[in-house]
A = this chain, B = another copy of it.
Amino acid sequence: MKHWDTVAVVGVGLIGGSIGLALRRRGLVRRVVGIGRNETRLRKAAELGAITEATESIAAGVSGANLVVICTPVERIVGDALSAAEAARPDTLITDVGSTKLQIVTTLEDRMRASNERGVFFVGSHPMAGSERSGVEYSQADLFEDRVTIVTPTGMTLPEHGRAITDFWESLGSQVLVRSPEDHDRAVAEVSHLPHLVASALAAAIAPDDRMLAGGGWRDTTRVASGDVELWRQILSDNQRYVLKSLDNFEKVLATFRRALENADQNALVELLTTGKQNRDAVGS
């Protein structure tokens, strides 16, 4: 397994902070360089022990790193990865933690050719360990344990680079699945982006006077709607195509439910409720 002496984390929030904490608690690296624009956040990350040094400059921060992890919002990942690639020394790997992959990976494969020639490569990742909370103060060293991380190599990725990034996430306790960027975006639209959109629509639809009646069921079903608005605007926009496909599919099931209810078709209601229960029970609590 590749040894990382120094890991640079660009963007020190919940995920970046948790990567730093996990690396350091597990004694996997000597240095974690935190790179960010917000001094308070960097100071907080240092206090928590998530980073060993801090800088506001990507170029300065990545220059001594073997691995760079881009943890900035989806819309900034390409730009930050390019800045990192230009300043990185040969034999540096770059990955990210973005919730979408197709556009990011395609754009970077196109625009990193000069860096590739210098031995600097990108492999996309997505640790599925988000939370409705954000902010470095919620960082946890065990955030990735027993959670799935999807790694998205392509036909252009050297096998040893895909393997190294897989090893990295496994070393933090994560279970890694390898998918193409397309298949990643299709699947997360279904299991994450659509549920967010639906939860948000449910929460938006409640009359303020009825909020006092919201019990455990409403709270569970809408919990993710508390997530960061700007983060989710970027995710839904970036993955527009697959989110709309998942929405098509969901609306078909919803229309079947509506017809069953309108027609008081008890067999159809039982069938829909049973399919939902079977799928839900198969996933576990």
Which A residues contact B (CB, under 8 angstroms)? 128-131, 147-148, 150, 177, 187-188, 190-192, 194-208, 210-227, 229-230, 232-233, 236-237, 240, 243-244, 246-247, 249-254, 257-258, 261-262, 264, 266, 269-270, 272-277, 279-285
Instruction: Verify A276–B213 contact, CB threshold 8 A.
Output: no
Docked CA distance A222–B130 (Å): 17
**Contact among B220, B250, B262 with A202 in the assembled complex (CB-CB below 8 Å):** B250
* Closest B residue to A150 using CB positions: B213
* Closest B residue to A249 using CB positions: B205
Instruction: Verify A217–B198 contact, CB threshold 8 A.
Output: no
Neighbouring B residues of A150 by C-beta, 8 Å: 213
* Closest B residue to A232 using CB positions: B273
- Given known contacts A253-B201, A277-B200, A285 and B219 CB-to-CB distance under 8 angstroms: yes
Docked CA distance A187–B230 (Å): 31
Docked CA distance A282–B224 (Å): 14
Smallest distance from the beta carbon of A134 to chain B beta carbons, Å? 12
Instruction: Verify B190–A210 contact, CB threshold 8 A.
Output: yes
Neighbouring B residues of A219 by C-beta, 8 Å: 283-285
Docked CA distance A225–B197 (Å): 18
Neighbouring B residues of A177 by C-beta, 8 Å: 212-213
* Closest B residue to A252 using CB positions: B205
* Closest B residue to A197 using CB positions: B257
Instruction: Verify B273–A261 contact, CB threshold 8 A.
Output: no
> Which 4 A-B residue pairings sit nearest by Cβ, starting from the closest?
A200-B276, A203-B276, A225-B276, A195-B221
Instruction: Verify B222–A280 contact, CB threshold 8 A.
Output: yes
Neighbouring B residues of A277 by C-beta, 8 Å: 200, 203, 225-227, 229
**Contact among B198, B270, B273 with A198 in the assembled complex (CB-CB below 8 Å):** B198
Instruction: Verify A273–B191 contact, CB threshold 8 A.
Output: no
Smallest distance from the beta carbon of A274 to chain B beta carbons, Å? 5
Instruction: Verify A202–B198 contact, CB threshold 8 A.
Output: yes
